Amino acid sequence: MTDFLTELAADPVIAVVRAPSIPDAAALCAALVAGGIRWVEFTCTTDGVTAHLARAAAARTGCRLGLGTVLTESQARDGLGAGAEFLVTPGCRAEVARAAGAAPVVMGALTPTEVAAAVELGAAAVKIFPARAFGPGYFKDLRGPYPATPLVASGGVSAQNAGSFLAAGALAVCAGSEVVAPDLVAAGEWGELTRRARAFRGALEQTRARPARVGGAPGGGRVRSSRGRRPR
């Protein structure tokens, strides 16, 4: 798990592809890599998602591939079999944790109690969703009781606020429709996706270069896995 967390901290943007259709998963991944985003999460809300995962994995575009919105053991096993390197859940899912085996699971939570539950289930990191509900300051607050738990911000993250989430203690952020807009994906507008990915990364780097407005441990610092650790 340490390698997964270290690599994510060094390259802290996950593109979440929530589109009704994907004409070419390999081209999509290549477009995001060209724009500087190398972590890609396909989601179970897309029809035929395992086939898309398999095509993207076979193309070897340089992406780290994950499967998100995983709710069941069968979805987890199918995703890993298709080439997913990590799994993402919208909430605490014990059956997904069991099916994952050695694969990292980024488990969804919102409240401190849910964060504790995700840690107990062995989550490699905890996705705070929707992050827009409380904003970056909430991540600073969570660092108090959970200083060793890697947190990922998802839901309402934009190029303008992504740096603030990282400064407040998030390990990484998820880029959604601002980068991988469903209509652009469905239309195969790969050049526009590259432009959006590059703009998101550029804005994020500029924000991270400025003094942080929100306190807390930076996302790119020392990383420790939450697996097996009990919160106090």
Catalytic residues: 41, 127
Read off the tokens for 221: 């610092």
What backbone phi and psi angles, to 5 degrees, belong to 124? Answer: -70, -35
In three-state form (DSSP H/G/I as H, E/B as E, the rest C), the secondary structure along the chain is CHHHHHHHHHCCEEEEECCCCCCCHHHHHHHHHHCCCCEEEEECCCCCHHHHHHHHHHHCCCCEEEEECCCCHHHHHHHHHHCCCEEECCCCCHHHHHHHCCCCEEEEECCHHHHHHHHHCCCCEEEECCHHHCCHHHHHHHHCCCCCCCEEECCCCCCCCHHHHHHCCCCEEEECCCCCCHHHHHHCCHHHHHHHHHHHHHHHHHHHHCCCCCCCCCCCCCCCCCCCCCCC
Name the token pair of 45: 């809300």
| Cis status, amide bond into 182, omega within 30 of 0 | no
